[in-house]
Amino acid sequence: MIDPTSTQIATESISPPVRDIFLTLGEIAGVFATGIGIGLIGAIKKKNISFAWLFGWWKKERGESKKREAHSRVHESLTELRVLVRSSRSLIFQFHNGGKFADGTSIKRFSITHESCSSGVSGMMLESQDVLLTRYMELVDLLDKKSNHIISVSSLPHCSFRSTLEINNVVCFCLSPLKCQDSLTPMGFVCCHWCDYDELDRMHEEEIGDVALQEVIENTTRTINNHLLMANK
């Protein structure tokens, strides 16, 4: 138990000038806190800030936070894909409009929106923005006929698509389609690049076949697709 006598003695041991200082500091702190409160109320009234506006702002910030989290998951999944299939690059291309032709027809373009590169491999994001889709019709054909397949660049006909891959030291690649919410409309595609045959040869030596790689690519692309739909809401 606390001895009231000792408490009284401790209290009385504080000299009057010291008590006055503490009382003065307390009064100053109270005035300061009151001033802040009055100032905030005045600012809210002056700016006509309502609780409805504050709630709307909070809701918007919460939505933006969820989008940032979704984009982080996209990057994580893209890096996971690159590591699992031991590729040099993994990229996400998304389709978008880029103006109109004279007859009013929309100009189709695509851009890299996310990228993951292994150490020492240069990125392609800066050079692959607002690219005309009509320059790479071979790519569109491969997306339709050979999605998730590992394709050798040397097997392609001489075209802009092949030249771009060769300039970036790509020897093999794969393409996986991304779909919009309706699961029908093309949203873009995931692309993996191998800049040499070493990792592909090692996987074959480890008896990791093309079918197993295709399953990994397809499943991870599905996860990326879901995260992108959340990020684009």
Digit-by-digit pLDDT tens for the chain (233 residues) are 445 444 444 445 555 555 555 555 555 555 456 655 555 565 555 555 565 655 565 556 665 677 788 888 999 999 999 999 999 999 999 999 877 777 877 888 999 999 999 999 999 998 889 998 888 999 999 999 999 999 999 999 999 999 999 999 999 999 999 999 998 999 999 999 999 999 999 999 999 888 999 999 999 999 999 999 988 77
What is the Cα–Cα distance from 217 to 174, expressed in whole angstroms?
9
List the Cα angle 68/55/231 in 5-degree steps: 20
Can you tell me the distance from the alpha carbon of 194 to that of 170, in angstroms, rounded to the nearest whole number?
A: 6
Side chain identity, residue 220: T
Evaluate if pTM is beyond 0.85: no
Query: What are the structure tokens assigned to 33, written together?
Result: 């806190």
**DSSP character at residue 126:** T
Q: How many residues are given for the chain?
A: 233
Place of tokens 């041991």: 13
DSSP 47-113: TT--HHHHHHHHHHHHHHHHHHHHHHHHHHHHHHHHHHHT-SEEEEEEEEEEEE-TTSPEEEEEEEE
pLDDT at 25: 58
Both tokens assigned to 74: 């996209």
